[in-house]
């Protein structure tokens, strides 16, 4: 099954190229305001073939010799193209690559914050999905069905769905719908946010085998950390891989040519480490916290330890189900109200757990560059405030990162 997957360097190149496809579409649309969307798509597809040659986009070696021709580009929104398709040749004949990007972020700001009013909708297979992502997906859903069926032509043997950032969110929904329609699907996302709640993630994991999913994330990239629980990634185990970049959580870690540049030169998914999910002891965690010390604003290692200690506390308090739905790196971003309540109970349960909660809270404050607080100030209200500040900070950084990704082409 591994041979079915495209190599990391091709996934990276195609996920990057779709940004240029969008820019070309919008430029041609602006220059031809009276032309129909379908006609603009024809002009765009012709130019993209030349752009691909100029950039020496490595498609031939992967079996995808040419970008799709006159029927190959599907642009639905007047402001922004949504992607393109490459048709397989040779050993990849009868396969399709479907690459998507998000709508232009300057025109469509998604709420990735922490409050319960973030907005839900019912997506493919009846799953609960983030309302912003779902609205975008529905705007081209019917055209996508018509497109992949190719007007009654031979059914594709495999459709490779991929995208970076918001494009990765749409790739999730594309894969979900196409798999439900009976297509064989491979899903690749790079630095993508969470799309649906836990039940959606679990359903996707059942529909698409782990060997046909590759979710790539950077520990310094804030985007894969949002939206918060109950949203979750539709991947687990071997399908979740890490690209390491720097030591600080920041915007550049989200960009393809900095945070995910290693993919551009990789021919094997084995080049990337699986996401860690090791449960450490209290003693080991205490030692690691001491090693980092203070002054660790936006330090990735500190963020990792906050997540691991939070996981340790939740397990000790009996919240096993909550822990198993989120990876260690994500535990610090569990729903604010729930986590504040659990930590408040933990602080009163035992001296050991109280010390853990104290460490979590002051480490969060250190991560945000704020002064620590003493144990006497550790009330439930204080916990809620600290966690809310933390989640809001990360959601804001994620939105900034996605905006920069749109402008960095």
199-257 confidence digits (pLDDT tens)? 888 888 889 988 899 999 998 898 888 876 667 788 766 788 888 767 788 888 999 98
How do residues 160-194 score in pLDDT, each as one tens digit? 999 999 899 999 999 999 999 899 999 999 999 98
pLDDT tens digits, one per residue of 2-27: 478 999 998 998 898 888 777 777 78
Give the other-Cβ count within 10 Å of 320's Cβ.
9
- Structural domain contains residue 390: yes
187 and 101 within one domain: yes
> Residue 30: enclosing H or E segment and its boundaries?
helix 8-31
Q: Check residue 42 and give its pLDDT.
A: 67
Confidence of residue 45 (pLDDT cuts 50, 70, 90): low
Averaged pLDDT score across all residues of the chain:
75
Same domain? For 267 and 168 the reply is yes
**Does residue 359 form part of some domain?**
yes
String of DSSP letters for 397-409: HHHHHHHHHHH--
User: Beta-carbon neighbour count of residue 151 at 10 Å?
Assistant: 7
Spatial contact of 62 and 6, defined as CB atoms under 8 Å apart: yes
* Backbone φ and ψ of 399, nearest 5°: -65, -40
262 and 332 both lie in a single domain: no
Number of domains in the chain: 2
- Residue 408 is assigned to a structural domain of this protein: no
- Same domain for 345 and 381, yes or no, is yes
The helix (H) or strand (E) run that includes residue 14 is helix 8-31
Answer yes or no: do 123 and 91 share one domain: yes
pLDDT above 70 covers a percentage of the chain that reads: 73
Please indicate, yes or no, whether residues 250 and 335 belong to a single structural domain of this protein. Answer: no
Last residue within a domain, chosen from 275, 300, 332: 275
The pair phi, psi for residue 216, each rounded to 5°, is -105, 130
Q: Which one has a higher pLDDT value, 157 or 339?
A: 157
Tell whether 263 and 361 lie within a shared domain.
no
Same structural domain, 38 and 53 = yes
DSSP state of 213: E
Determine whether 172 is exposed, middle or buried from the number of CB atoms within 10 Å of its CB (0-12, 13-18, 19+).
buried
pLDDT band at 390 (very low <50, low <70, confident <90, very high): confident
| 173 vs 291, residue with greater confidence | 173
Residues 318 and 257 reside in one and the same domain: no
Give residue 323's domain range: 282-397
- Backbone CA torsion sign across 294, 296, 302, 307: positive
Q: 292: pLDDT confidence band, cut at 50, 70 and 90?
A: confident
DSSP code of 106?
Answer: T
Residues 180 and 248 in one domain: yes
Do 239 and 313 belong together in one domain? Answer: no
Do 174 and 286 have their domain in common?
no
CATH code of residue 148:
3.40.50
**Distance, CA of 83 to CA of 80 (rounded, Å):** 9
**pLDDT value of position 264:** 92
């Amino acid at each position: 099954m591994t041979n079915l997957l495209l190599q990391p360097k091709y996934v990276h190149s195609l996920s990057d190229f779709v940004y240029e496809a969008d820019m070309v579409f919008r430029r041609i649309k602006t220059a031809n305001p009276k032309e129909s969307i379908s006609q603009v798509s024809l002009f765009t597809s012709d130019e993209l073939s030349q752009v691909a040659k100029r950039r020496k986009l490595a498609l031939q070696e992967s079996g995808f010799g040419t970008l799709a021709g006159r029927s190959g580009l599907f642009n639905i929104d007047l402001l922004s193209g949504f992607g393109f398709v490459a048709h397989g040749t040779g050993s990849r004949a009868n396969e399709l690559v479907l690459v998507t990007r998000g709508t232009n972020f300057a025109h469509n700001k998604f709420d990735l914050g922490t409050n319960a009013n973030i907005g839900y909708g019912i997506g493919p297979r009846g799953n609960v999905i983030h309302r912003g992502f779902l609205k975008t997906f529905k705007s081209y859903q019917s055209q996508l069905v018509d497109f992949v069926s190719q007007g009654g032509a031979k059914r594709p043997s495999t459709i490779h769905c991929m995208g970076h950032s918001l494009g990765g969110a749409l790739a999730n929904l594309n894969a979900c719908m196409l798999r439900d329609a009976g297509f064989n699907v491979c899903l690749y996302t790079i630095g993508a946010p969470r799309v649906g709640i836990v039940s959606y993630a679990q359903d996707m994991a059942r529909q698409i085998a782990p060997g046909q999913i590759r979710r790539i994330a950077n520990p310094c990239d804030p985007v894969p950390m949002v939206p918060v629980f109950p949203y979750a990634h539709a991947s687990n185990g071997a399908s979740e891989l890490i690209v390491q970049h720097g030591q600080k959580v920041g915007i550049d870690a989200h960009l393809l040519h900095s945070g995910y540049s290693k993919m551009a030169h990789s021919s094997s998914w084995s080049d990337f480490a699986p996401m860690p999910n090791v449960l450490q002891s209290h003693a080991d965690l205490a030692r690691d916290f001491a090693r980092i010390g203070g002054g660790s604003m936006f330090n990735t290692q500190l963020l990792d330890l906050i997540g691991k200690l939070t996981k340790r506390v939740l397990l000790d308090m009996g919240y096993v189900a909550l822990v198993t739905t989120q990876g260690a790196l994500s535990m610090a971003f569990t729903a604010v109200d729930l986590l504040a309540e659990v930590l408040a109970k933990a602080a009163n349960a035992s001296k050991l757990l109280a010390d853990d909660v104290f460490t979590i809270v002051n480490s969060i404050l250190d991560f945000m560059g704020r002064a620590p607080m003493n144990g006497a100030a550790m009330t439930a209200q204080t916990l809620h405030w600290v966690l809310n500040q933390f989640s809001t900070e990360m959601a804001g950084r994620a939105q900034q990162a996605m905006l920069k990704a749109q402008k960095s082409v």
